[in-house]
Amino acid sequence: MTRTSSAEATAREEVAAPVASPRTGLARARRVGGRALSAVTVLLGAATAAFLAQAALPGDRATTILNIRSGQAVARTPEELAPIIAQFGLDRPLVRQYLDYLAGLLRGDLGSSYQQFRPVWDIIGEQLAATLVLSLTAIALAWLLMVVWVVATAGRGPRVRGLGQTVDTVAAGLPHYWLGIVLLLVFALTLHWAPVMGGDGIEALLLPALTLAIPLGGFMGQATRAEFERALEQPFVVSARMRGMGETELRLRHVLRHAVLPAVTLSGWALGATISGAVVVESIFNRPGIGRVLVTAVSSQDIPVVTGIVVLIAAVYVIANLVVDVLYTAVDPRVRIA
Amino acid sequence: MTTLAPAPVAPPVSASRPRRRRPAPSLVAAIAVIAFLLLAAAWPALLATHSPTANDFAAALQPPSFAHWFGTDEAGRDLYSRVVWGARESLLIGAGAATVSLGLAVVLGTAAALGGRILSGVVGFVLEVAFAFPALLLALLLVAVLGPSAWTQVLAVGIGTAPGYARIVRAQVLAARSSGYVEAAVALGHPRRRIVLRQILPNALRPLVAIFALSVGQSIVWASSLAFLGLGVAPPSSEWGALLDAGRAYITRAPWLVVIPGLVIVALALAATSLGGHLRTALDKGEKA
């Protein structure tokens, strides 16, 4: 499918190129530039929100930090507080702290943990890969499940259609914690097809990824199904059938391509959503990852770690959306003209 | 709680249709689930079979049976009765979070759609930024700052889910603003304030009835996710999220302690989604008729 689409796209571009090249080129550069600019401002906003969350910690910040660090709630002497104030620059005016924080972010410095005596980036960095692998596997699985299910059930008479839709809705509504535990009970504890906890092979990845993939697939399926059924009504379907194309080939080669656009748009959002879903899933399956780090940090009020992860995920979301934008143009050449 | 009552569903459906048709089975099931849980919230003693707090260590960790429909927990307490008694707090958290969420959404969405250039620009930017945070993360950030409690859950879930609804409200208000009746009101020389209050808002906010139903279900799911992570109401309570949190320790020996409260939450969420969908269709039809 992708092969024919890119071939068609290049063919069309070659035809159009000599006439429209300078203008469309400019428009495209402008469009990408505009997107990049808005991505940067959104990131700036996310960083500001993160800073405000750190500044909003109730009470005297140095005392709070020291108490969080030691797990106590007592008043502190100035001698005790002095090193904390120096380390976090708390004696500087708030605007200066804000600018310092932004400057730190530009250098890739997410601040330092209240609880562990380490930079936040070190804490997140060593766990990030595990979570990304889980998220990307989940998104791939969701696409696979969704495409198979929609192609098989969309526009096949009222019964099958109804079943397809119901499964989409139910799947989209399943909370991760519940689905994860049911999968764990069925496949790991009863059937022994997968390891119960931990492990780092492919088999250990399957159930956590499936837990994230099923609701996501249901969600994308709802959008794709509507579009798929609309595409099935199009004249090009009739003409392909008249040429003698088989139903399966027709669905996979022509209809699907028209139907996946909404799901492609959702994929950028999906990356952020699966990473945040990983918080629950990693906790159920006892997997390492930033989700586990986040839960620990939230319950111990280690705010810099929390904001570090939040800013990182916001960045992932923004970048993923930029990529999706480019992908969108590749899948649907019509967008390029607009 | 009264705002949750499914009563207003039936009239628009039947009124918009000349012939009375049998209601869809999914709608009947949704109303049955919601009615049962509302009754449990209003009058738990009527539905519960046991005391939710009576310990009976001889009957600890029993699987579901005729005597204990949902089984028993580690202290021999009847899980079904605990679920029934937990309904009030759970539904209140869900309704509270949905109110916070939609309240914020209406203010932000309306400001983004109708405000002057600066106001709508600022609000639009805030929404754009909020969208970069998945709902659960935004909620976790708030829990980290405020510390875990039922009130934090309401605020965190409400604020976490508000941006999505704000976008819907903005679209609705924009659509209403460019409609024929607003144009007519402008042509008649009505003052702007009156047009906004009398024409745009009532029409734009009508679908919110449907969205509120959906949002209560979603809020309970998010709140229970927080509780599952140990960041919600503390376990001695029988709020559903707290039941999940408490049951996790016994997941291999007594899986029903997590699976059944989870199933209740899933059933409520699906019922709320289904009811919201039916309400929206009914409202759309009412608009056309």
B14 pLDDT higher than 70 = no
What was the pLDDT predicted at A20? 43
Selected residue with higher pLDDT from B97 and B248: B97
Selected residue with higher pLDDT from B54 and B8: B54
- Domain membership flag for residue B217: yes
A32 pLDDT higher than 70 = yes
- Domain membership flag for residue B7: no
HSE-up (13 A, CA, CB side) for residue B72: 22
- Domain membership flag for residue B166: yes
What whole-number distance in Å separates Cα of residue B104 and Cα of residue B98? 10
- Domain membership flag for residue B40: no
The shortest CB-CB distance from B128 to any of A42, A280, A294 is to: A42
B262 neighbourhood in chain A, CB within 8 Å: 175, 177-178, 181-182
Q: Which domain holds residue B277?
A: 29-35+69-288
Dihedral pair phi/psi, residue A173, rounded to 5°: -90, -5
Distance from CA of A273 to the nearest CA of B (A): 6
Interface probe, candidates A42, A181, A313, chain B, greatest B C-beta count within 10 A: A181
Task: Summarize pLDDT for A177-217 with one digit per residue, the tens.
Answer: 999 999 988 887 777 776 666 556 677 888 899 999 999 99
What was the pLDDT predicted at A244? 85
Q: What is the mean pLDDT of chain B?
A: 83
Task: Summarize pLDDT for A282-314 with one digit per residue, the tens.
Answer: 988 888 899 889 998 888 888 889 888 988 888
What whole-number distance in Å separates Cα of residue A26 and Cα of residue B205? 41
- Minimum CA–CA partner of A53 in chain B: B145
- Domain membership flag for residue B42: no
> Which pLDDT band, with edges at 50, 70 and 90, does B51 fall under?
confident
Task: Summarize pLDDT for B235-281 with one digit per residue, the tens.
Answer: 667 788 888 888 888 888 888 888 999 999 999 998 998 898 888 88
Residues in chain A: 338
Task: Summarize pLDDT for B114-158 with one digit per residue, the tens.
Answer: 888 888 889 988 888 888 888 888 889 888 888 888 888 899 999
A57 pLDDT higher than 80 = no
A32-46: average pLDDT: 84
A147 pLDDT higher than 70 = yes
B274 neighbourhood in chain A, CB within 8 Å: 169
Task: Summarize pLDDT for B153-175 with one digit per residue, the tens.
Answer: 899 999 989 988 998 899 889 88
CATH number of the domain that B175 lies in? 1.10.3720.10
Number of domain units in chain B: 1
Asked if B158 and B139 count as a contact pair (C-beta separation under 8 A), the reply is no
For residue A136, the one-letter residue type is: L
Size of interface A-B (CB pairs under 8 A): 123
- Domain membership flag for residue B167: yes
Instruction: Tell me the whole-structure pTM to 2 decimals.
Output: 0.81
- Domain membership flag for residue B53: no
- One DSSP character per residue, B199-235 reads IIHHHHHTTHHHHHHHHHHHHHHHHHHHHHTT-SS-T
What was the pLDDT predicted at B288? 58
Do A272 and B132 make contact, defined as CB atoms within 8 angstroms? yes
Do A57 and B244 make contact, defined as CB atoms within 8 angstroms? no
B287 pLDDT higher than 50 = yes
- Domain membership flag for residue B142: yes
The shortest CB-CB distance from B228 to any of A38, A189, A280 is to: A280
Distance from CA of A327 to the nearest CA of B (A): 19
A149 pLDDT higher than 60 = yes
Asked if A92 and A82 count as a contact pair (C-beta separation under 8 A), the reply is no
Dihedral-angle region of residue B230 (phi above 0 means left; psi in -120 to 50 means alpha; beta otherwise): left
What whole-number distance in Å separates Cα of residue B77 and Cα of residue A239? 66
